[in-house]
Amino acid sequence: MSTIISDGQTSPEAASLLRSLPSIDKLMRAEILQNLIEEGSPRELVLELAREILGQIRASVRNGSLSDVTTLTLDALGKQVATEVSEVLNGSLCEVINASGVILHTNLGRAPLSQEAALAVQRIARSFNNLEYDLESGERGNRMSHLNDLVARLCGSEAALVVNNNAAAVFMVLSTFAKEREVILSRGQAIEIGGSFRIPDVMVQSGAKLIEVGTTNKTYLSDYAAAITPQTAVIMRVHSSNFKIIGFTHNTPLAEMAQLASKNDLILVDDLGSGTFIDTARYGLAHEPTVQESIQAGAELVTFSGDKLLGGPQAGLIAGKKILVDQLKKHPLARALRVDKMTIAALQVTLQHYLKNEAETKIPAWQMISHPLANIEKQAHEWCSRLEHLWPGAKVLESLSAIGGGSLPGETLPTYLLALPVPTGQSAKILTAALRHQHPPIIGRVERETLLFDPRTVQAEQEELLLAALEQLAR
């Protein structure tokens, strides 16, 4: 139905629809909104959202973009306003059940914290604390003192600094040591990491000048050496933590780059992206360079993330030479990019898990990576047994879990999935939408009109919620 006529006036059909809309007073008297107000929702908020929704619908009618006239009834409008009120008052950020099989799912918040780390955040958030108070001297302290020694000890470095994410860490390093100077980088590493975060753009914003060497697939030590000029400040490696180049390739070993940098009085910076303290090859995955290996190879500054393979909160960690880290701490950006008390609390406990050799038993990401395949198969069959009387054709399939989160590109772990065929007359789109509207929402996978759920990424305390929701969906 067209609601706009040639002279710009509203068409008769649109005028009729506009007249059928309830007034704001009538809408506010709808039973569902009256109940909301009686239950404690602020009347002013309900009124404001009711006016906004009526205004949006009137605009849609006038410009011809309204596709569903069933939304114009008093009952439908009341439910729409009630939904908006609920979202505003309850917030949109919520826990979800990750049954997708992607361990570090970027869109689902990446690494969940260990129970101990989450409790530490709660304790620190609810009370006063010694964030910047030296309990020994009774004088002002430094918030980084809670983390610096822990990070340095785990990395095997002289010193460390923590900022709010790895992108910030890279930006800060370049701003401090390469402003108006040259940074040599392999052409194959001038990459986009994610969210339009591009290494060349970061260098421009930091004031550094990018000098690309080699080719996309091959860069030799001689390429780096030939590019050094009196304006060069940094030789940089960016690890391909979220993509892979295979085939006819050559990457210069970090130790050789370190020797070249030292010989020319340059700083070698290694951006590991994800970063790990544990050898991923122990789990049948490709070897991901550890932070310790980078320090041992001679990198003078190493940057990596806190919320990926480390398994902690969002943070950017910088480890390296004390003389360089001390300069970073004095940079004006150190205050602008510093982490808050809750991040420090969570990261402190996460790092302590590594010191206690309990990362694989305490940190959820490593629990999922190291979870025995036989246990996953048993769990999938138990799920299937519980649901098969409600879902004809339910079965267990062999499949693969992904690491995700910009870590170990292309690497997977064998797994078993619960597979639920979409019933005749229904659609996967409708069913997955229904699952997303559960409390908490459920995120799985869909292949060939079959709903798939991976036990590897479902946390133990959420398992019953998942199965109960699937039972309810089948009825």
Q: For residue range 394-439, list pLDDT tens digits in order.
A: 999 999 999 987 777 778 999 999 999 999 888 999 999 999 999 9
Domain count of the chain? 3
pLDDT at 196: 56
Same domain, residue pair 269 and 207: yes
Same domain, residue pair 325 and 392: no
For the chain, the maximum distance between any two Cα atoms, rounded to a whole number of angstroms, is 82
Same domain, residue pair 349 and 371: no
pLDDT tens string 164-177? 999 999 999 999 99
**How far out from the chain centre does Cα 33 lie?**
36
Assess whether pLDDT exceeds 60 at residue 223. yes
- Asked, for residue 278, whether it belongs to a domain, the answer is yes
Same domain, residue pair 305 and 416: no
Query: What's the CA gap between 105 and 83, in Å, rounded?
Result: 27
DSSP helix/strand/coil, 251:
coil
Domain span at 30: 12-90
Strands 267-273 and 133-134: unpaired
Same domain, residue pair 122 and 46: no
Residue 25 tokens read as: 């007073």
Strands 97-98 and 442-443: parallel
- Asked, for residue 7, whether it belongs to a domain, the answer is no
- Asked, for residue 103, whether it belongs to a domain, the answer is no
Same domain, residue pair 346 and 387: no
Q: Which amino acid is at 185?
A: L
pLDDT tens string 190-202? 766 655 567 777 7
Report pTM. 0.87
| Mean pLDDT, residues 122-141 | 95
pLDDT at 5: 39
CATH of the domain at 459: 3.90.1150.180
- Asked, for residue 104, whether it belongs to a domain, the answer is no
| Mean pLDDT, residues 39-58 | 94
Same domain, residue pair 78 and 178: no
Q: What share of the chain is helix, strand, coil (3-state, %, to 5)?
A: 45, 15, 35
Q: Given 362, 390, 412, which residue is the final one in a domain?
A: 362
pLDDT tens string 331-382? 999 999 999 999 999 999 999 999 999 999 999 999 999 999 999 999 999 9
Q: Do residues 202 and 170 make contact, with C-beta atoms less than 8 angstroms apart?
A: yes
Q: Do residues 347 and 315 make contact, with C-beta atoms less than 8 angstroms apart?
A: yes
- Asked, for residue 223, whether it belongs to a domain, the answer is yes
Q: Given 309, 328, 362, which residue is the final one in a domain?
A: 362
Same domain, residue pair 310 and 323: yes
**Residue whose token pair is 């799920």:** 383
Assess whether pLDDT exceeds 70 at residue 274. yes
Query: What's the CA gap between 310 and 346, in Å, rounded?
Result: 12
